[in-house]
């Protein structure tokens, strides 16, 4: 319940608390951010933790002193991963087993597909979000990641982490590139992507706008491409399997988008 002027200080206090140290990933650490806060600092989230950064209103990672609440110095999020740190807890039994989780966003869903609505009800990350492996032996570990009503101005970057990155994105905008070859896009709902996306697989994309080229791998056994529903495309190149409903296919075709390297499957197609 202690207030902090530094977001990193709040993260450090939560992740090093006796509760977190004892239970690791089973300790759900909620850090509540006051509305209209701005933190001119880079932040690091340590491995083997469940951390939720949730605003009670709009907030910015950066100084928000530029036009449209941009930051004069982009500020970044580093999410560290470590199979070694996770195993310390997993080996203690079922009462300690869980996956690392990072949630960034606000309590209010709102809609951040437009930059303008993001100014008033969402979170803005002015820099990059990086997944950084710090394990000495094995860089592969499965982690969970969620964006809720966030405008990520920078890129999403893979820095040594090779394990599965289960990703859920709601009411958000990804302005930069997304490059993580093990990212499994479980949900992309009411959102917009502007940069290039190079990911492993996708499951469900709904009511979203794809404004940059996409490269996906083949379907995995547990993340099948459920499909793309009620979504629009700019003139993009989609590389990999494409499963979409007829409404989304209309926008894919009329935008003169190109499909290469994979089959197209139309859902609910009666013609």
pLDDT, tens digit, 9 for 90 and up, residues 123-134: 999 999 999 999
Alpha helices (runs of H) in the chain, residue ranges in sequence order: 7-15, 18-23, 83-90, 115-121, 246-254
- For the chain, helix (H) and strand (E) counts, in that order, are 5, 27
Give which of 194, 129, 192, 122 is closest to 155, Cα–Cα.
Answer: 129
Q: What is the pTM of this model?
A: 0.93
Q: Which residue has the tokens 């650490």?
A: 29
Residue 114 has pLDDT above 80, yes or no: no
Task: Provide the residue ranges of all domains of the chain, joining segments of one domain with +.
Answer: 7-199
Q: Rounded to the nearest 5°, which phi and psi values hold at 238?
A: -105, 120
Residue 224: pLDDT band with limits 50, 70, 90: low
**Is pLDDT of 43 > 90?**
yes
Query: Average pLDDT of the chain?
Result: 91
Average the pLDDT over 28-52 and give the result: 96
Residue 115 has pLDDT above 60, yes or no: no
Please give the pLDDT value at position 225: 66
In the beta sheet, which residues pair with residue 206? 189, 229
């Amino acid at each position: 319940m202690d207030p902090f002027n530094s977001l990193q200080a709040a993260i450090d206090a939560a992740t090093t608390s006796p509760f977190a140290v004892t239970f690791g990933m089973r300790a759900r650490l909620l850090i509540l951010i006051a509305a209209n806060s701005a933190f001119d600092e880079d932040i690091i989230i340590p491995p083997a933790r469940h951390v939720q950064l949730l605003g009670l209103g709009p907030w910015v990672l950066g100084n928000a002193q530029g036009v449209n609440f941009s930051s004069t110095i982009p500020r970044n999020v580093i999410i560290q991963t470590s199979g070694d740190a996770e195993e310390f807890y997993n080996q203690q039994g079922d009462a300690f087993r869980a996956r690392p989780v990072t949630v960034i966003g606000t309590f209010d869903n709102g809609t951040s597909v437009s930059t303008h609505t993001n100014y008033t009800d969402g979170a803005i990350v002015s820099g990059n979000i990086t997944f950084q492996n710090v394990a000495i032996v094995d860089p592969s570990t499965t982690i969970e990641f969620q964006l809720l009503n966030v405008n990520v101005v920078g890129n999403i970057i893979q820095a040594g982490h090779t394990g599965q990155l289960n990703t859920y994105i709601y009411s958000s905008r990804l302005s930069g590139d997304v490059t993580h070859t093990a990212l499994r896009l479980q949900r992309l709902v009411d959102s917009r992507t502007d940069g290039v996306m190079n990911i492993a697989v996708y499951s469900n994309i709904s009511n979203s706008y794809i404004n940059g080229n996409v490269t996906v791998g083949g379907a995995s056994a547990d993340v099948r491409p459920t499909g793309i529903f009620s979504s629009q495309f700019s003139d993009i190149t989609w590389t990999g399997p494409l499963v979409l409903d007829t409404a989304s296919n209309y926008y894919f075709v009329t935008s003169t988008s190109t499909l290469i390297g994979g089959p197209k499957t139309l859902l609910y197609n009666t013609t």
